[in-house]
Every structure is written in structure tokens, then in C-alpha cells.
């Protein structure tokens, strides 16, 4: 795997300094800490590439740790999908797969230690009262009336919380820090709450659960993490993490924040993605339109294209939104070098070559990949009846239209020049049903004729007699505005959904070899884009094609379609 060049410059600076100073014995140990409450998305891919990439480049280690402190929303399905996605991206955590829930006993002990030090107390305020006491950004909080409970009473109550003596929500354990701190995270945050919910790993062993902030920093500490790399929104949590670790006198990793990834036309909120799945707006977390890693995988993206994208966008200290076109370019560039080209007519129009002998078939030579001579060539059947794209014919062509039109001549790729002689219409609707053409036998292979005549347009085609018609799926973004989070007050993000994000074509005409493609293979349909044989819905001899990406950036078009 290519080392990631440009990425994470600022993180490396710190690492180099630390390594030079001999901090942590020159060791680099990072982790990727997902909460198993949803599938990973492209933003997580960035975080994975950073943490695993740094570990790889510095010959360090990176753990996979599930931060599973919230039993209500966590499931094994998510754990499994996260493992699969990280591995698919090309990273390996060896035998270092950890769970915050494995540390519940240690965490409980650390909580008792803080109580004994007079640094934590059991608070009986209701949730509403706690909110009220907490203050606001402009107004300092007030001390809880339970804040000065004696250590013995706190210990007793905390143990009884654990023993299940109190109902859910009746009491919490809080850190005793500073209710007047300008940093809201420091205003005596909750460390434990009572919650009778089965946990995906610990079952019903616990009826109290540690809060994320308390758990996260101690988990990093237990694992000997040297650099905790996380997104910017955790900047204000850093003082709290440091407080816990300093008070407990345990190893303190260095936290370094980087900007979250945002993409145009895309929502990277697990909450919204979960709604899309639950409301069946998409077919699942791996729907090819989803910005999840599994969605991109099923769409046909390669792990290297996603890693290269993460490398290319780099790491910064300020949040910004990356154009979706950048990600698309990354897969386009890769497939341009690797994908064979074949011909497929997505929206067919029949062409009859009236001067071509009935019943005759020719095998014409077609190059598999002009970017890769080693890919060789293949034979494509040609006959009297063909299909071309509907959009490659215009009865009344606009200026500069170089494709087929009455009286006009075009080149059929690898075949012949044809000239449109006659248009056959459906008498009822007036729609063009067929186009009758003549061909020039002197142009075999698509070459210019001896008379030096030239044509401007080259179009693709498929022989009608030999064509196969697998299902082809075309995608557009799920959201048809650049910033889906920009919606009118009182409305929901779903007002920005694109109703045409999926188009299923049942009548496409493909050259015969495409009917034999295997699930997981990628191909360019000449002029129409890169396609992937869907690994889930394809059957032997019956591929289903997902369009990964068009050949050109089409985001401009989507912008135009956007309602005023």
C-alpha cells in the first residue's frame, strides 16, 4: 500500500518532535474508536486512514476499539460491519480488538477512587434540575446541594446504585470539578447513570453505565495510546479527559484534533442515515447511494480510491466541505487505468442498415483498454440491426450536434461510417421508432475511407441479434442540494431528498461478453461511465450493473436541476 504522503502534516510534526524527545519511548500507538451504533461512513474512513496510516508510517500500532457505553443503540450487527469495513479499507488491528465494555470493572474502580479522593459525588437532582443548575454559556452554573456529601455516603450510594437499589435515572455519579467553568464540559459532568438495559456484550451484569467522556479517555489510557487522534468537536473535551487522567494518576495520551470530513450533497450523520434505512428510503446501510463505506463498496468504489481520496484531502485544523467531485475523481482516475472498455446502450434506439446483407454477422476487433495495451482486444459482433443511444440521434439537431441526424454521417466505434437515410415513427405518438441508415464498407474498423472523408462524431452501438439485457442501475445523489442541512425552519432534512436518486433500466442493450461478467468486476461502458457488477443482486450469467460514476464530472448538471 502506498504510504499516505500529504496527509496529516500537523500530526506528523508533533510525532516527530515527540519521537525526537524520546517521549513514550519513541512508541506510536493510536486507535480508531467507533461507537457500534451504526455503519461507518466516508468521514470515518478519513479517521481510519489517519489513525491507522500514522501507525503504519511510524511502525507503530493502531487498535480497533469499540466505544460501547450506550447499550440502547448498540448492536452486534454494527460491530461486524465495522470490522469488515476497516479490513476492506486495507487496515489491520492484529489481535488488538478492544471494547470499552471490557473495561467496565476498571472504570468502576476508577470511579470509586475519585469518590475516595473527594473528586466525585452522587447527585440526586432530577434531569431537569441538573440542566437548570448547569447554567449556560453566559451564566455560570450553581453547585448541586448534594455536592458536599461525605465520601462515605457517596461510596455507599454509588455501591447501592450498582447493586440496583434505585430506579433508573434516580441518581447519577458526577465529577466534582467547577460549576463556574467557562467550559461547560467541566461543570461537574455525569460519570455514571442508572439504566436497566441489556448490553450487547455484558448482558444484564450492569444496571449502571459509565458516560462516554469518562470511558473514552480511560480506555485510551488503559490501552497505552500515545496519540488520541479525534475530530475537532472534542477540543473542549480535552481538559475534561486530562482532568480525569491526572486525578487518577494514570497514563495520559496526547489528544490531537483534526477537521471532520463533510461532503457536498451528502449527510454524514448516523442519526439521519439510520432514518433513511429505517424508513426504507434506501434498501439498507449498503445501498449504493449511501455515503457509508459499505455503500461505496457496493457501488463499486475500491479501497485504494477511498484511501487516495483521504490522502488527497489532507488533514486540517478547520472544518470545510469537500466537493463530491473530488471523491468521484479518485475512483475515475483509478478505473481509467484498470477497467476494460466495452459497449453498452443504456437507452436504446434501433438502427437498421439497409445496405448490409440480411443474416450476415461480422466479428470486429475492439481495443479493451487504450490506457493499457496489455489488456489486448476482443471481437464484437456486428449485424444489420443495431442499437444506439437515443440521445445519439436528433431529428432536428441543435447547432454543433455531431452525432446522428437525418442526412448526417457518424462513425460507429470499431465498425463503420453510417449515414441516416430515413426516420421511422410511431404513427400514433410521433415518437422515433427506428432509424434507417446505409453503411460504407470502405470504412471497416471505423477507419476513414480512401476518399479522405471525415466525420466528427463517434458513437457506440450494440448488435441487436447478439445483445444481452441485464439490469442496469443509475444513481444520483440522495440529496439534490449542496448542503442538505440547509432546509427551511419547521421542515425536515428530508425535504432535500432527490426523488430520482435511483433509475433502474430493464431494457439496456449490452455487448454479449458483458452478460458473463462476475459479481465484483468493474468495467467501463464506453461513454456511459464505470460500472460494477453488484455482488448482492447478481446471479450466475445474470449480472446486475451499478453505475459507479460517469466519465465526466456531472455535478454542474445537478446544480442546474436544483429547484430555484
Question: Which residues would be at the binding site for ligand ATP (CB under 6 A)?
Answer: 33-35, 37, 43-44, 46-47, 230-231, 260-261, 268, 270
**Identified catalytic residue from 46, 149, 270, 298:** 270
Nearer to ligand ATP, 319 or 516 (CB): 319
Measuring CA to CA, which residue among 210, 75, 190 is closest to residue 144? Answer: 190
Q: What would the grid cell of residue 504 be?
A: 433502474
46 in active site: no
**DSSP helix, strand, coil percent of the chain (3-state; round to 5):** 35, 25, 45
Measuring CA to CA, which residue among 266, 258, 262 is closest to residue 322? Answer: 262
β strands within 408-543, DSSP E? 409-412, 417-425, 432-440, 458-459, 462-463, 471-475, 502-505, 509-510, 522-525, 529-533
Alpha-carbon gap, residue 538 to 344, rounded angstroms:
18
Nearer to ligand ATP, 44 or 522 (CB): 44
Cell 447478439 sits on residue: 466
Nearer to ligand ATP, 42 or 420 (CB): 42
**Identified catalytic residue from 23, 260, 347, 378:** 260
561 in active site: no
The helix (H) or strand (E) run that includes residue 13 is helix 9-21
35 in active site: yes
Inter-residue contact 550 to 526 (CB < 8 Å) = no
Distance of CA 445 to the CA centre of its chain: 42
Angle between helices 104-116 and 238-248 (to 10 degrees): 80
**Identified catalytic residue from 31, 35, 46, 403:** 35
Nearer to ligand ATP, 268 or 352 (CB): 268
Q: In whole angstroms, how close is the CB of 51 to ligand ATP at the nearest point?
A: 8
Q: Please work out, in degrees rounded to the nearest 5, the angle formed at the alpha carbon of residue 360 by the alpha carbons of 355 and 362.
A: 105
Nearer to ligand ATP, 46 or 332 (CB): 46
Nearer to ligand ATP, 38 or 348 (CB): 38
Nearer to ligand ATP, 39 or 387 (CB): 39
β strands within 77-234, DSSP E? 97-99, 120-123, 172-175, 190-194, 208-210, 227-231
Alpha-carbon gap, residue 440 to 493, rounded angstroms:
56
DSSP result, 74-107? --HHHHHHHHHHHHHTT---TT-EEEGGGGHHHH
Q: Which residues contact 255 (CB under 8 A, 6 or more apart)?
A: 227, 228, 229, 230, 234, 238, 241
Inter-residue contact 531 to 548 (CB < 8 Å) = yes
Nearer to ligand ATP, 85 or 534 (CB): 85
The helix (H) or strand (E) run that includes residue 262 is strand 261-263
Q: What would the grid cell of residue 206 be?
A: 450492569
Name the residue whose CB lies closest to ligand ATP: 43
Enzyme catalytic residues: 35, 260, 270
Amino acid at each position: 500500500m502506498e504510504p499516505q504522503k500529504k496527509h496529516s502534516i500537523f500530526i506528523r510534526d508533533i510525532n516527530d518532535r515527540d519521537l525526537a524527545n524520546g517521549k513514550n519511548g519513541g512508541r506510536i500507538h493510536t486507535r480508531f474508536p467507533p461507537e457500534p451504533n451504526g455503519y461507518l461512513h466516508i468521514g470515518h474512513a478519513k479517521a481510519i486512514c489517519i489513525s491507522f496510516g500514522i501507525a503504519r508510517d511510524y511502525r507503530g500500532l493502531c487498535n480497533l476499539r469499540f466505544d460501547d457505553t450506550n447499550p440502547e443503540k448498540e448492536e452486534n450487527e454494527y460491530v461486524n460491519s465495522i470490522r469488515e469495513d476497516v479490513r476492506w479499507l486495507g487496515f489491520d488491528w492484529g489481535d488488538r480488538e478492544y471494547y470499552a465494555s471490557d473495561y467496565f470493572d476498571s472504570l468502576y474502580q476508577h470511579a470509586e477512587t475519585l469518590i475516595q479522593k473527594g473528586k466525585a459525588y452522587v447527585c440526586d437532582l432530577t434531569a431537569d434540575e441538573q440542566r437548570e443548575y448547569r447554567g449556560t454559556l453566559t451564566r455560570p452554573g450553581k453547585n448541586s446541594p448534594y455536592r458536599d456529601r461525605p465520601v462515605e455516603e457517596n461510596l455507599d450510594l454509588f455501591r447501592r446504585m450498582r447493586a440496583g437499589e434505585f430506579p433508573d435515572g434516580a441518581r447519577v455519579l458526577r465529577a466534582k470539578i467547577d460549576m463556574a467553568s467557562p467550559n461547560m464540559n467541566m461543570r461537574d459532568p455525569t460519570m455514571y447513570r442508572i439504566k436497566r438495559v441489556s448490553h450487547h456484550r455484558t448482558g444484564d451484569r450492569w444496571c449502571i453505565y459509565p458516560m462516554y467522556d469518562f470511558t473514552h479517555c480511560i480506555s485510551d489510557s488503559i490501552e497505552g495510546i500515545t496519540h488520541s487522534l479525534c475530530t475537532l468537536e472534542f477540543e473542549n473535551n480535552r481538559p475534561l479527559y486530562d482532568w480525569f487522567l491526572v486525578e487518577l494518576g494514570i497514563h495520559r495520551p496526547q489528544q490531537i484534533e483534526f477537521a471532520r470530513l463533510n461532503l457536498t450533497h451528502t449527510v454524514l450523520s448516523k442519526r439521519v442515515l439510520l432514518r433513511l434505512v429505517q424508513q426504507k428510503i434506501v434498501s439498507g446501510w449498503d445501498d449504493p447511494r449511501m455515503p457509508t463505506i459499505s455503500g461505496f463498496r457496493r457501488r463499486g468504489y475500491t479501497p485504494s480510491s477511498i484511501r487516495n481520496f483521504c490522502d488527497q484531502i489532507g488533514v486540517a485544523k478547520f472544518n470545510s466541505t469537500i466537493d463530491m467531485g473530488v471523491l468521484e475523481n479518485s475512483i475515475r482516475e483509478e478505473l481509467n487505468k484498470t477497467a476494460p472498455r466495452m459497449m453498452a446502450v443504456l437507452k436504446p434506439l434501433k438502427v437498421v442498415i439497409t445496405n448490409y446483407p440480411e443474416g450476415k454477422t461480422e466479428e470486429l476487433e475492439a481495443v479493451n483498454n487504450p490506457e493499457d495495451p496489455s489488456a489486448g482486444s476482443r471481437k464484437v459482433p456486428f449485424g444489420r440491426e443495431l442499437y444506439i443511444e437515443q440521445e445519439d440521434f436528433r431529428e432536428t439537431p441543435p447547432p454543433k450536434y455531431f452525432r446522428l441526424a437525418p442526412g448526417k454521417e457518424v462513425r460507429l466505434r470499431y465498425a463503420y461510417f453510417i449515414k441516416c437515410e430515413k426516420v421511422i415513427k410511431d404513427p400514433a405518438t410521433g415518437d422515433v421508432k427506428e432509424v434507417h441508415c446505409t453503411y460504407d464498407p470502405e470504412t471497416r474498423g471505423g477507419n476513414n475511407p480512401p476518399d479522405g472523408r471525415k466525420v466528427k462524431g463517434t458513437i457506440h452501438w450494440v448488435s441487436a441479434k447478439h445483445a444481452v439485457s441485464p439490469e442496469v442501475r443509475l444513481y444520483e445523489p440522495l440529496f439534490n442540494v449542496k448542503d442538505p442541512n440547509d432546509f427551511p425552519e419547521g421542515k425536515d432534512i428530508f425535504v432535500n431528498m432527490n426523488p430520482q436518486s435511483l433509475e433502474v433500466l430493464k431494457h439496456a442493450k449490452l455487448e454479449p461478453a458483458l452478460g458473463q461478467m462476475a459479481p465484483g468486476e468493474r468495467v467501463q461502458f464506453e461513454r456511459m461511465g464505470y460500472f460494477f457488477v453488484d455482488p448482492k443482486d447478481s446471479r450466475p450469467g445474470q449480472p446486475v450493473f451499478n453505475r459507479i460514476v460517469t466519465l465526466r464530472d456531472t455535478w454542474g448538471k445537478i446544480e442546474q436541476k436544483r429547484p430555484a
